[in-house]
Amino acid sequence: MTGPLLRLEDVQATLRLRHSEQTLLNGVSFEIGEGEAIGLVGESGSGKSLTTRAITRMLDPRFRVTGKIEFDGTSVLDMSSSALRRYRQNDVGMIFQDPRAHVNPVHTVGDFLTEALVRDRGVDRRDAERRAVTLLDEVGVRNPEARLRQYPHELSGGLLQRVMIASVLLVEPRLILADEPTTALDVTAQSDVMAILDEQRRARGLALLFITHDLELAAACCDRLAVMYAGEIVEQGPRVYNAPEHPYTIELMGARPSIEERVARLPVLTYNRQIHDQLKAEA
């Protein structure tokens, strides 16, 4: 492969309502290469999660998506149902914000981890369990054999998120979409989970799109940052964290708390859609 693994070019997602339409993604463009990690940051409602759903074609049917979304040179928007199913099963892995919302509470951890291998890949169940045990050990889950027999409610949030990471790695995808995977965890668990995810990504040469509100975390584990506002990428590159140029990025960076200095009050974001539209018109 000579081009990027994932390429989005001028992607627009418009929600068709009963009497109107609303554009929620507007001209989104970025690329991710093999083994590269991109951090997608921005405030709630900016379109980060919508972008991942567009990449996997999991948006509500009322959305009309235009532009180009290509994976390894193949158009995702033009994939047949069978090709799309293979793409979701084999090429792209998704790690969600709240692991408890994406596991079946009446199935054991072992059933959850081995289902895709047994059902979709035809792997023998015992072999699938051996692979699961090995991978659980690699992501820092102690006593993995016993964990296979437990149910999700018996695991802490941090431990269950490690299980989610293992479930994604088991199917050996080429791209991981991590949608705020540490939001529901305490600070210590956040650090552990991201260290594990970053280590496994680098060891396996996987590409990563990491969605987060934590600018410092994204800068620490990603090669580039892309800043999103009102459905648009306003700035991206390897120097965004240390040398932001766009007015929204500058205000966003200034509004984050710091452990290095004491301030009476954090700055309030004054950047808004009106200012954004005015700057675009002047550009």
DSSP code per residue over 3-52? S-SEEEEEEEEEEE-SS-EEEEEEEEEEEE-TT-EEEEE--TTSSHHHHH
CB half-sphere exposure, 22, CA atoms < 13 A: 7
**Confidence category of residue 84, pLDDT binned at 50, 70, 90:** very high
Q: Are 197 and 165 in contact (CB under 8 A)?
A: yes
Q: Does 32 have pLDDT greater than 80?
A: yes
Q: Taking residues 167-196, what's their average pLDDT?
A: 86
22 inside domain: yes
CA distance 205 to 208: 10
Q: Taking residues 219-243, what's their average pLDDT?
A: 94
Instruction: Considering only residues 214 and 63, tell me which one the structure prediction assigns the higher pLDDT.
Output: 63
Instruction: Identify the three-state secondary structure at position 93.
Output: strand
Residue 214: what pLDDT? 83
Structurally, the chain folds into a number of domains equal to: 1
Find tokens 């700055």 and name the residue.
267
206 inside domain: yes
**Confidence category of residue 2, pLDDT binned at 50, 70, 90:** low
Instruction: Identify the three-state secondary structure at position 232.
Output: strand
CA distance 170 to 283: 46
Q: pTM for this structure?
A: 0.90
Counting residues of the chain whose pLDDT is more than 90, the rounded percentage is: 65
119 inside domain: yes
Q: Taking residues 269-275, what's their average pLDDT?
A: 85
CA distance 193 to 215: 16
12 inside domain: yes
113 inside domain: yes
CA distances from 223 to 40, 188, 194, 207, 220 (A): 11, 23, 14, 11, 8
pLDDT per residue over 33-59, tens digit each?
A: 999 999 999 988 999 999 999 999 999
Q: Does 67 have pLDDT greater than 90?
A: yes
Q: Does 177 have pLDDT greater than 70?
A: yes
115: containing domain? 6-282
Q: What single letter denotes the amino acid at residue 36?
A: E
Instruction: Considering only residues 100 and 40, tell me which one the structure prediction assigns the higher pLDDT.
Output: 40
Instruction: Considering only residues 253 and 263, tell me which one the structure prediction assigns the higher pLDDT.
Output: 253
135 inside domain: yes
Q: Does 109 have pLDDT greater than 90?
A: yes
1 inside domain: no
Domain of 228, CATH number, reads 3.40.50.300
pLDDT per residue over 112-167, tens digit each?
A: 999 989 988 889 999 999 999 999 999 889 999 999 999 999 999 889 989 999 99
